Chains A and B, each alone.
Chain A
Amino acid sequence: MRAMVLLSLRNIRKNKIRFGLTTFAVLLGVSFVVASFVLSDGLRSSLNTMIGTGFENVDVQVRAESDLDEIAFTDRQIDESVADILVDIDGVAAVNPNTDSMSVTPLNGNGEPLGSMMSPVVAVSWDGSEIGALRLVDGRVPGPGEFVLDQATAERENMVIGQSYDVVGSRGPEPFELVGINRFGEEGTLGDFGMASFQLAELQRLDESEGLVRYIDVAGEPGVGAEVLASRIDAALPSGVEAVAQEALVSELEDELSGIISIFGNVLLAFALVAVFVSTFIIGNTFNILLGQRVRQLSLLRALGASSRQIRFGALFEALVIGLVASIVGLAGGVGLALGLRWIMDLMGLSLPTIDIIINARTIILALVVGIGVTLVASLSPARRAASISPMAGMRAGFRFGSGEGTKRTIIAIVLAVIGAAGIAYGLFGGSDNTALLFSVLGLGAVCAFVAVSMFSPLFSSPSASFLGLPLEHLPGNKITGHMARKNAAKNNKRTASTAAGLMIGLALIAMASVVATSLKSSFRAEMESTVVSDYFVTASNQSSFSGRVGEQVAALPEVESVYSVRYGNARIGGEQHGVTAAEIELLDELLDVGLVSGDPTASPDATDLLLQSDVAEELGVAVGDTVPVDFAAGGTVTMTVSGIYENSFLVGDYMIDLSAWESYFTDQNDATLSIKLADGVTLEEAGEALQPLAAAFPQLEFETNAEFQERVEGQLDTLLIIINVFLGLAIVIALLGITNTMALSVLERTREIGLMRAIGMTRRQTRSLVRLEAGVVSVFGALLGVAVGIIFGWFAVLAIPGEMIDRLTIPYLSLAIYVVIAAVAGLVAASFPARRASRLNILDSINEM
């Protein structure tokens, strides 16, 4: 074995470039996997530190009691007077009532609202107390008419102490003086998460929540345990209010955030696994190449007495070395990638705390497992073939690796196709609640399907390549090279198919994402046009809610016929938490067509009316007139009556209540969206002018026409699609590497032929064309096949996505065609390196090569 090890190492050293390319393909996949874990671990750790800091001095927090989950900014508020009870409790050292508001927005020196959806600026109350994490850095604690800004935001927005800035509350903008700078914790980083601090009474005045606070922080006397204190306080509290000890607070928040981080990490991991999957194809191909090159050497070894087992060992050992190197470099690469991704997220304005880079044992082991595992798996089949070379076989000129047993492959392919289809069907349509399970099954199904497609593709790759290569026969000035490129691409169906496989997978996923996104957009557009009757929308640009006073002022305009408030919240219905939408049911017909199926809810609606989407009503087994108990966070359990059932959940979701219900059961009286119907004869321009003063007063709100609103949402979808495509681009890069590798093989196998043609008069440029055109044909084949598969996958996905988001299949033919063209061009470029090497082959050496 030692001889084999030596030989393997020597081989690697000699073929550094070829091995290097293979290693690179593996390490890209490994890097991506590592990066996803490094990032999510780091994010979790940073956020946990942040949470710890935030609750450092808070032993107990008193807040509204509810078992509905909401993160951070809830609609639960409690009476400020509860704080008075707390002061007298034994063991309480300090009491600090606090509130925060998303509907109070400071403006910077240019009148622009601070904060955006990615990096929000929250208005909080603050009196400089030791409880809580904010620390004064400069200036003083805010009093009436004053506010303090966090250091990072102040620097970014160029706001200085002593200046006056507008702060927009419920009633519009008011001037406030910036009197201080503070920061979160000792290090002061909360990412770009900004805070504007106000005196409690001022903040309450600004968002019309006088006498209410969201939570009361309590510091205990030294020596009093937080748990003990919490139960003591709890006993003294009125119903509906609870006291939570620090530990519970911290773990509660950690758990919630951990869930989100896991999703983020899993998404990255999914992309990483795609990259790894594509790598496997590439590596398998490359190993076939490398071993094919050394057929003579291997058969010589066999002639000299090396056993099949030793040959196989040698091949696997080389794979092991590659895998090991790829894993180690991939580990470093993954860290680099994580840093890069973090930087990109900063650029995109995602507010995140500085993410630590965490490389723990699990990540290192995973890198090794993925890198070595993938390489070994990919090398199994080539190693077996290498071991089967007989001593004399390799000596014959023109020896080629046999192609695998036909029927066995076909059976495996069919089985995989069936498993794949079943997996995908279950993942998309299976009713399980365990989303992790569904996604895993979906992913595995997709993998099986892809492998099956690539195993079937040799059946039609030759005729396809031949067909696709037809234009090459007519290339001006290059007819014979075009002809030969076409013939070469069509000649070896297995080679063509496996080269194209990587590109096929990448393009299938991109095509699927495009189909889904385009279907989403067109569904949205169609719904907007048919369902929505209103002319104007008002939304908050940071996706939060805003004071109802805005709606009042809009309604007062003569140009406006009616204003339709929409509010979104949560409630528990039928045992599970769901989103509920509140609106004025009476005006329903005028502004939105929800496709009423039964009931007449617009006739005198009241606070106990509940409207359900038809599928939901069926699940609950209720009809119009039945009662349903609904739990609200602040309002408790209310017995509501089903007053209507509707089909179309676009914009309103599956559960609707009347605005009066919201007013009774929710404490926050802010709107999420205003739908505006203009009076007859009022043009959009006239309405825009009339709304202008309001828009100026509340710059954090978007006043958009139907069309503008549509455009903005579609733009967001487009951005999402671009991000997805960028990630999938990694898989494409790996696929292109595969093409480079395979073309290099192709050149190697045809060294004599190229030498001969060069001798007879083929120029270097013609040689390069020969190689590149062949790669072009193969790339187009892979791309077209991928797009076809992607359209099918996209169709399934569209079927599976709930009807409220997608109701039609739209295929973006132009985009897909462009993707195919790009893939073809990329294939041409990928072949450049082997093309150049081919053109520089020494003619005599090539002709004389045996």
Chain B
Amino acid sequence: MGTLEDRSTRDSIFPTTGNSAAMAATATGITKRYGEGNTEVLALDHIDVGFIASKLTAIMGPSGSGKSTLLHCVAGLDELTEGEVRIGQTSISGLSDQALTLLRRERLGFIFQSFNLVPTLTAEENILLPLLLGGEKPDREWEQRVISSLGLDDRLHHHPDELSGGQQQRVAVARALVSKPEIIFADEPTGNLDSSAGAEVLGFLRRAVDDFDQTVVMVTHDPAAASYADTVIFLRDGRLVDTLENPTTELVLDRIRALEG
């Protein structure tokens, strides 16, 4: 392992084994600027990054590093100032709102830190929401499998306010899985959970990657959460400054300290 400076060249960001066909999503030269003049903030500074298919990638960095912004931009939730993002072969940079919305519905899944569920719908309705929005019939067998794996069988007709935090996040995971998306984007999915509930959710995400070849991209500030990932990428001041393959909690902690040092 070299020093930080050694690893800060752009080429090392792309995994050595990868070719673009194995990328679930790629971002090329993406930049995000807020405000103007004196108040201008450069949230993302010309980042090139790829997210490998069927892997769990974690995005980490100190607050203000742009990690959430990166996730949002790649997921089509936010607009780039410069650069291009591709989901699979599809460039999302020029898409209309309608097209982007459909893309998110049909090809992506989302798990947010809190407020993942629509309060007026039951757990089952929340799980099926992307499909219902599209008027599609769910794959009942797959749905049942996901629900059972997540232990939600007896919670299906409850409303979110009748579920614990952990259960709500599991419903969110189920929702993300049931529509069989190309990528699941998770923004601090365990941020509001206690350690055991959090570990449960991360375990499910890990199993989804291992057993079902799901691609997951996760923003987290928690080194323990990051340890579940295959790859961890580190941001600081809007730039990609480090990556780590096959992380453990200690390794991640080391890298973070190095970043902040």
Task: Assess whether B104 is in contact with A760, with CB atoms less than 8 Å apart.
Answer: yes
Task: Assess whether B118 is in contact with A763, with CB atoms less than 8 Å apart.
Answer: no
Q: How far is the CA of A757 from the CA of B117 in the complex (A)?
A: 9
Stretch of B128-136, B148-156, B205-213 contacting A (4+ beta carbons < 8 Å): B128-136
Task: Assess whether A756 is in contact with B78, with CB atoms less than 8 Å apart.
Answer: no
Q: Which residues of B contact A89 (CB under 8 A)?
A: none
**Chain B residues bordering chain A, tally (CB within 8 A):** 27
A488 within 8 A of B: yes
Task: Assess whether A757 is in contact with B118, with CB atoms less than 8 Å apart.
Answer: yes
Q: Which residues of A contact B134 (CB under 8 A)?
A: 761
Chain A residues 474-511 with CB under 8 Å of chain B are: 477, 479-480, 483-484, 487-488, 491
Known A484-B121, A753-B119, A759-B77; 20 more pairs at CB < 8 Å: A479-B135, A480-B129, A487-B121, A488-B120, A491-B120, A757-B129, A757-B133, A760-B110, A760-B129, A760-B175, A761-B101, A761-B104, A761-B106, A762-B105, A763-B98, A763-B101, A763-B133, A844-B77, A844-B78, A847-B112
Q: Which residues of B contact A843 (CB under 8 A)?
A: 77
**Chain A residues bordering chain B, tally (CB within 8 A):** 23
Task: Assess whether A480 is in contact with B133, with CB atoms less than 8 Å apart.
Answer: yes
B167 within 8 A of A: no
A752 within 8 A of B: yes
B116 within 8 A of A: yes
Q: B176 to nearest A CB, angstroms?
A: 9
Q: How far is the CA of A759 from the CA of B101 in the complex (A)?
A: 7
A764 within 8 A of B: yes
Residues of B within 8 A of A (CB): 72, 77-78, 97-98, 101-102, 104-106, 110, 112, 115-121, 125, 129-130, 132-135, 175
Q: Which 7 A-B pairs rank lowest in CB-CB distance, beginning with the nearest? A: A761-B105, A480-B132, A487-B120, A763-B101, A761-B104, A761-B130, A761-B133
Closest Cβ neighbor of B105 among chain A residues: A761
**Which of B115, B133, B175 has a CB less than 8 Å from the CB of A752?**
B115
Q: How far is the CA of A759 from the CA of B129 in the complex (A)?
A: 11
Q: How many A-B contacts are there with CB distance less than 8 Å?
A: 65
Which DSSP category, helix, strand, loop or mixed, fits chain A's interface? Answer: helix
Q: Which residues of A contact B105 (CB under 8 A)?
A: 760-762
Q: Which residues of B contact A491 (CB under 8 A)?
A: 120
Q: Which residues of A contact B117 (CB under 8 A)?
A: 756
Task: Assess whether B120 is in contact with A756, with CB atoms less than 8 Å apart.
Answer: no
| Contacts A/B (CB < 8 Å), 26 sampled | A479-B132, A483-B125, A487-B120, A488-B120, A491-B120, A752-B115, A756-B115, A756-B117, A757-B118, A757-B129, A759-B104, A760-B104, A760-B129, A760-B133, A761-B101, A761-B105, A761-B106, A761-B133, A761-B134, A763-B97, A763-B133, A764-B98, A764-B101, A843-B77, A844-B72, A844-B77
Task: Assess whether A763 is in contact with B102, with CB atoms less than 8 Å apart.
Answer: yes
Residues of A within 8 A of B (CB): 477, 479-480, 483-484, 487-488, 491, 752-753, 756-764, 766, 843-844, 847
Q: Which residues of A contact B102 (CB under 8 A)?
A: 761, 763
Q: How far is the CA of A487 from the CA of B72 in the complex (A)?
A: 30
Q: A842 to nearest B CB, angstroms?
A: 9
Q: Which residues of B contact A763 (CB under 8 A)?
A: 97-98, 101-102, 133
Q: How far is the CA of A483 from the CA of B122 in the complex (A)?
A: 12
Q: Which residues of A contact B120 (CB under 8 A)?
A: 484, 487-488, 491
Q: How far is the CA of A831 from the CA of B254 in the complex (A)?
A: 55
Task: Assess whether B133 is in contact with A762, with CB atoms less than 8 Å apart.
Answer: yes
Q: Which residues of B contact A752 (CB under 8 A)?
A: 115
Q: Which residues of B contact A760 (CB under 8 A)?
A: 104-105, 110, 129-130, 133, 175
Q: B217 to nearest A CB, angstroms?
A: 15
Q: How far is the CA of A766 from the CA of B98 in the complex (A)?
A: 11
Q: Which residues of A contact B118 (CB under 8 A)?
A: 484, 753, 756-757
Q: How far is the CA of A763 from the CA of B100 in the complex (A)?
A: 9
Task: Assess whether A756 is in contact with B112, with CB atoms less than 8 Å apart.
Answer: yes
Q: B110 to nearest A CB, angstroms?
A: 5
Task: Assess whether B116 is in contact with A756, with CB atoms less than 8 Å apart.
Answer: yes
Closest Cβ neighbor of A485 among chain B residues: B120
Q: How far is the CA of A479 from the CA of B125 in the complex (A)?
A: 12
Q: Which residues of A contact B72 (CB under 8 A)?
A: 844
Task: Assess whether A766 is in contact with B133, with CB atoms less than 8 Å apart.
Answer: yes
Closest Cβ neighbor of B187 among chain A residues: A847
